[in-house]
Structure 1
Amino acid sequence: MISAQTWSDAQRLWDFQQMHHEPRPCSVGIGLGSHDLGVADVTVDLYRRAMMPLIVFTGATSRTTRERMPRGEAEHYRERALELGVPTEAVLVETNARNTGENIRFSRSLLSERGVDVSSVLLVSKPYEERRAYATARKLWPEVDIVSASTPMTLTEYVDSIQDPRLVLDMLVGAQQRLLIYPDQGFMIHQEIPESVAVAYDRLRGEGFTSRLVLTP
């Protein structure tokens, strides 16, 4: 049983990870690969709303997607977009990236190779990874404007969709850890972490929500 305090701490991390950007038209939309096909769905919705003329789906496979998406995350996202009516010529795929940094770098290279002029990016991720994705993109592609987006849903709705509360809390803690340690490693920009968020993170770690942490020296 997950306590009320634990849910409160998880909600604080969830709220902090959301960038609360208002979607606006951008040069390109980039959907970051993951286990969550909702990323593809919201990217398609934004395309239909004329928020971008071109979509890049990026991602190989990971331990959480190897069985579910054997052809690779980007390919499965592309298939979903085509099923939903997006024309083939409006979707590019980048199939080699295995982390957020590679998602950004490899997508940037692909767009450059295709001669696409990029001044702004609508960056679509899972809801609990908006801030991490934003911070990474600002570090690796500082000359473009980054607008963050994800499926508009509450923490409760997301947990219900995944059907694994502990996994969701593990992922929230993992995303928060990366905001703390990756700036010093040069992977993303530094961001101010409110004390209340830091306390919630420490408490969740102490309760054992640690399966998505990366090892540190």
Structure 2
Amino acid sequence: MEREPDSSILNSAKILWNYLKVDMPLEKADGILIFCSNDLRVAEYAASLYHHGYAPWICPSGGVGRLTYGLFHKPEAEAFADVLIKAGVPSDVIFREDRATNSAENVFYTRQLLIKHNLTYKNLIVLQKPYMERRTMATLTHHWPELKFMISSPPISFENYPFEGFSTSDLVHVLVGDFQRIILYAERGWQTPQPIPDEVMGAFNLLVSNGYTREFIDPAASPSIPPQ
């Protein structure tokens, strides 16, 4: 059984957390795009933004995920839509994109869907988990450079992020894995390169040296990118 992270591990993990969040200010937009995941709190946040008049429609994007099929037993977009409807969002303003299995596919399949439904999407609010904000930004600026967007996530702190079935140790592992993707995907031309301060790289190296590599990907792995 993995031991609980000590203070040095937690401090380094929080440095990664703060780096991976980009904290863009929000204003009203043409629509809300959700990059779906295993965290349904993002759907609850989207519903709140809708009810506060930030956008007239919501597009949850996500297919059958490696980590979520056993959790939801349906595409992520459908699970997120269920939460949105339960929170009072009308079904006819929810446009489900249920094929994407990675961030690049979220972009390509969503763009096709928005065109199909003749929706305006010059300026979007894009929602993610807090620690995936920066990677989402890097994906959008690379694969959808003409889009104006604001990235946001539920206002949950590092300390309060763990939930049932997802411990603080799990969070540290995924932070390290997501940071590795920031580096590798940029090197391979799949995302826009990000500046990395020395403090952040030092925190990453400390966590790697302490074995928090469970969510590492094969450096030779390539994401599926459908034709435009």
Q: How does 1:132-147 map to 2 (within 5 A)?
A: 132-147=135-150
2:225 aligns to what? Answer: none
The equivalent position to 1:57 in structure 2, one of 50, 60, 75, is 60
TM-aligned CA deviation for residue 117 of structure 1: 2.3
Aligned-partner residue type, residue 25 of structure 1: K
Q: Give the letter aligned to residue 188 of structure 2.
A: Q
| Equivalent residue number for residue 37 of structure 2 | 34
Runs of 4+ that moved beyond 2 A: 159-163
**Which runs of no fewer than 5 residues in structure 2 stay unpaired?**
221-228
Q: Percent identity?
A: 27
By percentage of residues, which structure has more helix?
Answer: 1
Please give the residue correspondences for 1:65-84 in structure 2 after superposition, counting only pairs within 5 Å. Answer: 65-84=68-87
Q: In the superposition, relative to structure 1, how do residues 160 and 34 fare at CA in structure 2: closer, same or farther (>3 Å)?
A: closer
Aligned mates of 1:197, 1:153 — CA distance in 2: 21
CA distance in 2, matches of 1:160, 1:97: 25
Among 200, 205, 213, the alignment partner of 1:210 is 213
- Give me the TM-score of the superposition, normalised by structure 2: 0.91
Q: 1:44 aligns with which of 36, 47, 50?
A: 47
Report how far residue 161 of structure 1 moved.
5.8
**Residue identity in the other structure for 1:145:** K
Opposite residue 203 of structure 1, the aligned amino acid is: L
User: What corresponds to 1:16 in structure 2?
Assistant: 19
Question: In the aligned structure 2, how far is the partner of 1:109 from the partner of 1:160?
Answer: 34
For 1:101, give the aligned amino acid. A
Change (3 A) 1:19 1:161: farther
* Residues 1:88 and 2:91 aligned together: yes
RMSD (Å) for aligned C-alpha atoms: 1.2
SS in structure 1 of the partner of residue 124 of structure 2: strand
Aligned counterparts of 2:72 and 2:175: Cα–Cα separation in 1: 22
1 CA distance for matches of 2:198 and 2:164?
30
1:97 deviation in Å?
0.4
After superposition, the C-alpha distances for 1:24-83 in whole angstroms (9 at most, x for unaligned) are: 111111111111001101111111111111100011122321111111110010011011
Q: 1:129 aligns with which of 127, 132, 146?
A: 132
Q: Which residue of 2 aligns with 1:173?
A: 176
1:120 corresponds to 2:123:
yes
